[in-house]
Amino acid sequence: MSTRPPQLSPTELAAYFAFTEVSSLLRHAVEKQLRDVGKLSYVQFQLLARLGDAPGGSQRMTDLADGVVYSRSGLTYQAQSLEERGLVTRQPSPEDERSTIVTLTDSGREVLAKVFPGHIEAVKTHLFESLSAEDVEMLARVMTQVSGHLRAEPPRSAAPRRRSSDH
């Protein structure tokens, strides 16, 4: 246990610090824009955006939760909220009675369309403005790489349900 006190190189440290900082600042900026323009939280926007991309504007709750890296209970809460605002509908899946299918409504698409330009603008301004094309490409490559790595190995974002070996 005392054999290997793990270390980060100065470069790694710098990368980690700057990464978390950018992530925080960017998120705050984006959240503000979404709140101001569409009265959406970041999560809500992410959910709508995912649905907008999905075929038929529909996805299962679990897939949505995994997609945005979010707890299932939190998703239930937000889905309810979005449903009350008429931006999505929820219905049990015909194929699997357990599943709930969330579907983007026309209203939802409208709101999405309304906030989208400003969102893009914010991302452009805050994240990309100071970067060269090569930087962006590099960033895309590296982040995709890490993301794949993260998605691959560990017990998925939400509740890993297995549990029997410990205790």
Partner DNA sequence: ATCCGATGCTTCGAATTCGAAGCAATATGT
Partner DNA sequence: ACATATTGCTTCGAATTCGAAGCATCGGAT
Residue 17: CB minimum distance to a copy of itself, A: 8
Is residue 88 within 8 A of residue 104, CB to CB? The reply is yes
Please state at what angle helix 42-53 crosses helix 106-123, rounded to 10 degrees. Answer: 110
Q: Would you count residue 105 as binding DNA (CB under 7 A)?
A: no
The reply to whether 61 sits near DNA by the rule CB under 7 A is: yes
Question: Which residue stretches of the chain are H helix?
Answer: 10-38, 42-53, 61-68, 72-84, 106-123, 133-152
The smaller minimum CB distance to a copy of itself, of residues 54 and 127, is found at 127
Q: Answer with the entry of DNA, a copy of itself, none that 60 interacts with (C-beta below 5 to 8 A by kind).
A: DNA
Is 20 a binding residue for DNA by CB under 7 A? The answer is no
From the list 30, 48, 75, 88, which residue makes contact with DNA (rule: CB under 7 A)? 75
